[in-house]
Amino acid sequence: AQSVTQPDIHITVSEGASLELRCNYSYGATPYLFWYVQSPGQGLQLLLKYFSGDTLVQGIKGFEAEFKRSQSSFNLRKPSVHWSDAAEYFCAVGASNYQLIWGAGTKLIIKP
């Protein structure tokens, strides 16, 4: 069955520190992979996506993600977080019926 796992419900990071949010997926074919961010009281905003080609994908707000087929992972990274990065982050995989299969989300807390 298709699924997306974000193993960390919450992550706390100090401002200026590096960040890695984990995402693992289960999907039979070559996946289309997405990261979205949701700031408090807002809708979900696309951070980046992977369809094919270079496995390191650059997104908005200084984020990047790396697709590793052998590990079925698509982890999100940022070298130095800012207080404004505090939000919930969702990983998703594109399914064959136009839907996205969503992870449960990881809430990022920034320590001053």
Partner 1 sequence: DARVTQTPRHKVTEMGQEVTMRCQPILGHNTVFWYRQTMMQGLELLAYFRNRAPLDDSGMPKDRFSAEMPDATLATLKIQPSEPRDSAVYFCASASSGGGGTQYFGPGTRLTVL
What is the binding site for partner 1 (CB under 8 A)?
Answer: 32, 34, 36, 42-46, 49, 51, 90, 94-95, 97-100, 102, 104-105
Q: Under a CB-based contact definition with an 8 Å cutoff, are residues 104 and 10 in contact?
A: no
How does strand 106-111 pair with strand 10-14? Answer: parallel
Q: For residues 33 and 81, which CB has a smaller minimum distance to partner 1 in the complex?
A: 33
Q: For residues 46 and 109, which CB has a smaller minimum distance to partner 1 in the complex?
A: 46
Nearest Cα neighbor of 33 from 21, 43, 42, 41 is: 21
Shortest reach from residue 108's CB to partner 1, in Å: 16
Q: For residues 1 and 112, which CB has a smaller minimum distance to partner 1 in the complex?
A: 1
Shortest reach from residue 75's CB to partner 1, in Å: 20
Shortest reach from residue 41's CB to partner 1, in Å: 8
**Angstrom distance (rounded) from CA 45 to CA 59:** 11
For tokens 């919450």, what's the residue? 10
Shortest reach from residue 60's CB to partner 1, in Å: 13
Q: Three-class SS of residue 61?
A: helix
